Amino acid sequence: MISNQPGPEAPLRQYLEHPRGGPTVLRIVLGIQLRRLRENAGITREAAGDAIRASHAKISRLELGRVSCKERDVSDLLTLYGVLDEEQRADYLTLARRTSTPGWWHQYGDVLPTWFETHIGLEEAASIIRTYEVQFVPGLLQTRRYADAVVQLGHPGAKAEELKRRVDLRMQRQELLGLPNAPLVWAVIDEAVLRRPLGGVAVMREQIEHLLKLSELPNVTVQMAPFHLGGLAAAGGPITVLRFQEQDLPDIVYLEQLTSALYLDKREDVDHYLAVMDRLSAQAEQPRQTRTSLERLLKELG
């Protein structure tokens, strides 16, 4: 996590008055603030863990925003760190309470893996979402029928109601694109994704038309990485980098795997993936060229 930022009072009040992103982001903000207080007080994770009757591993999870914070634990840590001002403590405790408030996505808990909940919360709070996809159209840009084909592919044994709920979740995620404070979404999509007839020709035609429509939005940029480029800067699977306006939140790299995901926020890791995304964007067709290519693909589909 980033460090050496201004004191916590103003950022905390900002999140209390203008919350964005739900409990996921609030947990991260609170964790960062608690870590700064601990380090400024010269207290080890082990000592902090003793103060709340827990291990240093729990302190690490709290500071990384991996778990919600009990008010009692936060109160004990504030006392240990020398935060005695009642108004300041009240802000921390209010934030701690809000970290346990369910996000809208909790209604899909039966089909939503825990490791993906974090991504949805970060997505809600991001100001910029940069993504590179090698197999599917990015989830935020999928049509319902295309999403249905993707979900069926990933869950071949699921019942119809479960499949529908998974698609409904994806469609509800997309609502953030039309919000007044919508994030900038910058997607680089491999040509193979657009030529693979997932769901059939009619579904792909509809999906490409949807990408053309979305690319007209001021907050959506679509680039195609064509076959003739050969090797690309990104080796391996898809990449998503999330950036936030708030100074307390570091850029986060999201790497999705088959049954889990990695969230990277160390500066050296993030810088590496940002450089990869920059090279990908430079190598891929520019947005105007991409529109021409998408229109050509539509004609080929007939």
Structure-block tokens of residue 47? 């000592």
Query: What does the alpha-carbon distance between residue 45 and residue 132 come to, in Å, rounded to a whole number?
Result: 37
Domain that holds residue 37: 9-98
Indicate the residue among 74, 98, 122 that finishes a domain.
Answer: 98
Dump pLDDT digits (tens) for 98-147. Answer: 888 888 999 999 999 988 988 998 998 899 999 999 999 999 999 999 99
Name the amino acid, one letter, at 188. V
Compute the average pLDDT of residues 65-83.
Answer: 91
List the single range of 4-13, 57-66, 276-285 with lowest mean pLDDT: 4-13
Residue 267 in contact with residue 250, Cβ under 8 Å? Answer: yes
Do 172 and 293 belong to one domain?
A: yes
Q: Is the pLDDT of residue 24 over 90?
A: no
Residue 151 lies in a domain: yes
* Residue where a domain stops, chosen among 98, 129, 159: 98
Report pLDDT for 13. 67
Assign 271 to helix, strand or coil: helix
Q: Give the span between the Cα atoms of 69 and 86, in whole angstroms.
A: 19
pLDDT tens sequence across 136-170: 999 999 999 999 999 999 999 999 999 999 999 99
pLDDT for 231 beyond 70:
no
Mean pLDDT (the chain) is 89
pLDDT the model gives residue 201: 96
**Separation CA 168–CA 236 (nearest Å):** 29
Cβ atoms 280, 188 nearer than 8 A:
yes
pLDDT tens for residues 249-290? 889 999 998 889 999 988 999 999 999 999 999 999 999 999
Examine the domain organization and report whether 81 and 148 are in the same domain.
no
Q: Is 116 left (phi over 0), alpha (psi -120 to 50) or beta?
A: alpha
In a domain, 1, yes or no: no
Residue 233: pLDDT band by 50, 70, 90 thresholds?
A: low
Residue 232 banded pLDDT, cuts 50, 70, 90: low
At residue 181, φ and ψ (nearest 5 deg) are -105, 40
3-state SS class at 207 = helix
Range 224-247 average pLDDT: 80
| Residue 224 belongs to a domain | yes
User: Rounded to whole angstroms, how far apart are CA atoms 30 and 68?
Assistant: 9
Secondary element (H or E) of residue 128: strand 128-133
Q: Of 116, 122, 271, 142, whose CA–CA distance to 198 is shortest?
A: 142
What's 220's domain CATH number? 3.30.870
For CA atoms 121, 122, 128, 130, the dihedral sign is negative
**Overall domain count for the chain:** 2
Domain membership flag for residue 3: no
pTM equals: 0.84
- DSSP class of 237: S
Both 136 and 222 in one domain: the answer is: yes
Is pLDDT larger for residue 3 or for residue 7? 7
**Residue 3: which pLDDT band, with cuts at 50, 70 and 90?**
very low
